[in-house]
Structures are given as structure tokens and as C-alpha cells.
Structure 1
Amino acid sequence: MDGTLLDSERLWDVAMRELSEHLGGPMSEETREATLGASSANALAVLFDSLGPEQKPAAVADAKVWLFARVGELFGGGLDWRPGARDALATVRGLGLRTALVTNTERVLTEPALDTIGRDFFDASVCGDEVPSGKPDPDPYLRGAELLGVDPRDCLAVEDSPTGTAAAAAAGCRVLVVPSEAAVPAGPGRVFRDGLVGLSEADIAAVWRDGAPAA
């Protein structure tokens, strides 16, 4: 969702930088990249480690409340589509393919974002607080495949971050990688594209073919 369909990763970036200052210091570029696409728990752990304050449960809980309130404010200012993302979703749905939204964002913030995206684009959705472990663990994609009633090896994931790509690949999905805020390393089953603009049925078929794991 964030960074793949919606240009909302930059809003998380704003909120994380402000939270870092709130906790006592600026966020380094290394820390920023490590938090991109991460679950809130992982992102907060990385941030606390970078700043040095002890990760007492109460302090982490307070930081999460602060972060979610700020992200909610930023989401309320409006969410923009990533270039070509809406048309790409329409193309996929026009082919009669079942789809699931798989995001590390928690349900409380995913729901208003779905109002922008359009719920009719998806047969199911999985949020970071609905699985044992968020991305980069495979749990979100395994749950998404389960809800669709398919084997994850028969799924094509679309991802923009190293974290999300690792999760999809670990689940056994083929992955169309469209990087947004951070470079994504190459790997088995990964096909790269500069963007979603103009994504066609033929393009999807080619990604599926080229992303097949080696025999």
C-alpha cells in the first residue's frame, strides 16, 4: 500500500523524522532506510536503537501512540496515488484475478487509506497487526494467499521496498518490484520495473514468466 499504490511512504517518513526529534535527536539516513516498509514494531525498535534510549515497554507504547496520531493527521490531509497504480489495479481486476492488499500498516490506518484506494479492488486485506510477524517475515503474504484460497507460489506480489520484497519472496511469491524510496536488491523470482504506468496484460504475463524460479 504505502509506496506501492499510494504516495504515503513520504508521510510515514515525515512522522518518523518528527518522532525521532521528539525522542531526542535527528534520524539518520541509515535509520530511515531501515524503517522503510517495516512494521511499526520493527520501525520503532530500529529508531530506539539508533537514539539509544532504553526500550521500556511504556516508552515504546507512548511512541507508537504519538506516531499513529501524527500519521493519522498526515493521512487526513489527503493521499495521492503512485503514478499508474490505479490503472494497474483496474487492469488486474479486469482480467478477473483475485487480489489482496497486504500491508505492514495497522488496520486503524489502513481503513481510511482504503477509502482512497477503493475497497472494490480487493477480495481481502491483511494488516501488520493481524499476523504473528510483519514484513520482512512472510506471515502477511501467507495470510493473504490463505484468504484468497490459493498457494502463495501461485501469487504475484507487487512491492516497492526491500522489506516487502523480502516478505513476498520468503512466502514463495513471484515479485514485481517497483522501487520508490529505497533500492531493492535483485534476487530469485524478482522482476524489476521502473513504475506501474502503462502496465498491461502482456506485461503482467511477462512478469509472471520472467519471475519463475529456476528449475
Structure 2
Amino acid sequence: MTTISTPTGSLTQADGGGLRAVLLDMDGTLVDTEDFWWQAEASLFAELGHPLDEQDRAHVVGGPMTRVIDYLLARTGLEIDPAELTVLINRRFVDLLAGGVPLMPGAERLLNTLDAHGIPAALVSASHRHIIDLVLYSLGAEHFAFSVAGDEVARTKPHPDPYLLAAARFGAEPARCVVIEDAPTGVQAAEAAGCPVIAVPSIATIEPAPGRLVLPSLELVDLDLLRSLVTVRV
């Protein structure tokens, strides 16, 4: 079901060019890797004697890794250095990527549409640079002007820093950069940055809110929709 909630007050198309860029999350939004992250985390903790369940999965979706690690250690009481645990999870995740990364339904069409109409795009992820570079082999680096990794900003999602950085690199106001996200942490980051948001939930539920469009699939996202979300209050 498609739901949208807009702010009270009158809305008009943004002056000076409207839509400037589209900022896209990676895991769970463009590529179906959330299962890979969960398999890496769940299998490792099972081997360490701390089985995880579906409630845990809902808590860890969307990263960033520091938040995931803090949650898992508090939840299980496992005594291990957080840096060591991060390395173990990342290694297992990379092994799972060896067979390639499946794209989410509608992702390829959306990226091709942006290319065809000259709409610049950036990949903004909480994943670390080496993970992004691996996934870009499947996703196609040519679709993006640049990418922002979680280990390249002082504060990653749910803080607004990654999206503020991406908008600044485009020389654009955040209100003219539409963000597409799948997880609550990413939505929080984008909204804190002042970007209009399309949420396509993967694992965790995302409720409608002012200025936030919630859709069941990327297949419903087209250029007209993206342009319609670039509005300013008057």
C-alpha cells in the first residue's frame, strides 16, 4: 500500500531547478544484501554459543556496524573485543558476496532512468569503503557520481552527516536531493539532513510521517514521482 504524509501548509515546486540529485542507500535498498549481513551475524553468534532470533534481526537492520556491534554485545553478553567482532562479521559477509549480489526489484530500471535523464546520483551507505567497492561490481559504479562510505564520515547514519556531505558535494540544497532508504536509521539520517525521503522498507517497519513517502517497492519510483517530492514550504 502506498502512503504519503506531507507537512501542513502550502507546498510549491522548489525554485531554481527542482530536483538536483538522488541519494541512494545501498544495503536493502538497491541490493539484496540485508540477508547476507544477517546470515553473517547469526551464523557467527550461533557458533559462539549465542543464537539470535528475528527480533534481533529487526534491531540490527540498517547498521551502522558500531551500533550493530553495541547491540549484539549488550544482547548476548559475549566477551569479545568490538574491533575483533567487527572484523569477523565483515569477513563472513565478504565471503557471502563471492557469488555476486542480487539487485532489488526495480533498482536497475531506476538507475537507468536517472542515467537517461541526466539526474545525478550518489550512493550513501553505512557500509565501509571496501564493502561498497565490492558491491559496486554488481551494482555498476558508472551509475553514481560518487559514493559515501560509513567509515569516511565522523558520524554515520542515523546522524545526518553522510547526506549533508553528499548534498554539499553536488553543490545542492538538501531539500532538492531526494533520498531513497530501506531502514529506520537511514530515514532518520536523511530527514535530519533536510532531504525528502522515499522509504522502501526491507526488514523493519517504517511508518508514514510528514514529508516521507513509504512505498512497497522501487518499481513504483519514477522520475515524475522524484520531481514531485522536491518542494518548499511557503
- TM-score, scaled relative to structure 1: 0.91
Aligned length: 209
Aligned to 2:91: 69
Question: 1:52-97 CA deviation, whole Å, 9 max, x = no partner?
Answer: 235x6xx111111111110000011211010010111111222211
Which structure would you say has the larger RCO, counting Cα contacts within 8 Å and 6 or more residues apart? 2
Aligned to 1:103: 125
Matches within 5 A, 1:93-132: 93-132=115-154
Question: 1:4-24 CA deviation, whole Å, 9 max, x = no partner?
Answer: 000111100101112322443
Please identify which structure carries the higher helix content: 1
Quote the Cα distance in structure 1 between the aligned partners of 2:42 and 2:113. 36
Question: 1:119-140 CA deviation, whole Å, 9 max, x = no partner?
Answer: 1111111000001111111111
Aligned to 1:172: 194
Aligned to 2:225: 203
- TM-score, scaled relative to structure 2: 0.84
1:45 to 55, 60, 70: 70
What letter corresponds to residue 30 of structure 1 in structure 2?
Q
Gaps of 5+ in 2: 1-25
What letter corresponds to residue 37 of structure 1 in structure 2?
G
Matches within 5 A, 1:3-82: 3-54=28-79, 59-82=81-104
> C-alpha displacement at 1:186, in angstroms?
1.9
Aligned residue for 2:119, secondary structure, equals: coil
Distance change (3 Å), C-alpha of 1:183 and 1:198: closer
1:91 to 81, 104, 113: 113
> C-alpha displacement at 1:198, in angstroms?
5.1
Moved more, 193-202 or 6-15: 193-202
Q: 1:189·1:213 contact (CA, 8 Å) conserved in 2?
A: no
> C-alpha displacement at 1:99, in angstroms?
1.2
Quote the Cα distance in structure 2 between the aligned partners of 1:148 and 1:132. 19
Q: 2:175·2:232 contact (CA, 8 Å) conserved in 1?
A: no
1:142 paired with 2:167, answer no
Aligned residue for 2:158, secondary structure, equals: coil
Question: 1:89-117 CA deviation, whole Å, 9 max, x = no partner?
Answer: 11122221121100001001110101111
Question: 1:150-174 CA deviation, whole Å, 9 max, x = no partner?
Answer: 1212110001111111111111100
Quote the Cα distance in structure 1 between the aligned partners of 2:197 and 2:174. 11
Quote the Cα distance in structure 1 between the aligned partners of 2:47 and 2:190. 33
Quote the Cα distance in structure 1 between the aligned partners of 2:68 and 2:163. 19
Aligned residue for 2:219, secondary structure, equals: coil
Q: 2:178·2:226 contact (CA, 8 Å) conserved in 1?
A: no
Aligned residue for 2:197, secondary structure, equals: strand
> C-alpha displacement at 1:31, in angstroms?
2.2
Q: Report % sequence identity.
A: 36
Q: 2:101·2:138 contact (CA, 8 Å) conserved in 1?
A: yes
Matches within 5 A, 1:154-169: 154-169=176-191
Aligned to 2:14: none
Aligned residue for 2:51, secondary structure, equals: coil
Distance change (3 Å), C-alpha of 1:134 and 1:152: same
Please identify which structure carries the higher strand content: 2
Aligned to 2:12: none
Question: 1:175-206 CA deviation, whole Å, 9 max, x = no partner?
Answer: 01111112112222211111112533223233
